[in-house]
Amino acid sequence: MTPPATPAAPVPRSPEASPGLPQPRGPLSERVLRVLAGRGTRLPEPGEVRGADPYGDDLQLLLYVLYELHYRGFAGVDERLEWDPALLGVRAAAEDVFLDALRRDSGPGGADVPAAIEPLLLEPVADDGRGVSHHLQRAGKLWQLREYAALRSLYHLKEADPHLWVVPRLRGRAKAAMVAVEFDEFGAGRAEDVHARLFAGLLTDLGLDARYGRYLDAAPAQALATVNMMSLFGLHRRLRGALVGHFAAVEITSSPGSRRLAAALRRAGAGPDAQRFYDEHVEADAVHEQVVRHEVIAGLLADEPGLAADVVLGIEATGHLEGLLGDHLLAAWRDGRSALRTPLTS
Half-sphere exposure of 23 (CA within 13 A, CB side): 9
pLDDT reported for residue 249:
95
State the Cα–Cα distance between residues 100 and 322, nearest whole angstrom: 17
pLDDT one-digit tens code per residue, 154-188: 999 999 999 999 999 999 999 999 999 999 999 99
pLDDT band at 13 (very low <50, low <70, confident <90, very high): very low
- Spatial contact of 317 and 106, defined as CB atoms under 8 Å apart: yes
For the chain, give every domain's residue range: 27-105, 113-334
Max Cα–Cα distance, the chain, nearest Å: 59
pLDDT reported for residue 231:
98
> Mean pLDDT throughout 77-106?
98
pLDDT reported for residue 8:
44
pLDDT one-digit tens code per residue, 96-118: 999 999 999 999 999 999 999 99
Chain mean position to CA 313: 16
Backbone region of residue 207 per phi and psi (left: phi > 0; alpha: psi in -120 to 50; beta: other values): left
pLDDT one-digit tens code per residue, 229-240: 999 999 999 999
Could you tell me the CATH superfamily of domain 113-334? Answer: Heme oxygenase-like (1.20.910.10)
Interior angle at CA 232, CA 32 and CA 65, nearest 5: 25
pLDDT reported for residue 4:
60
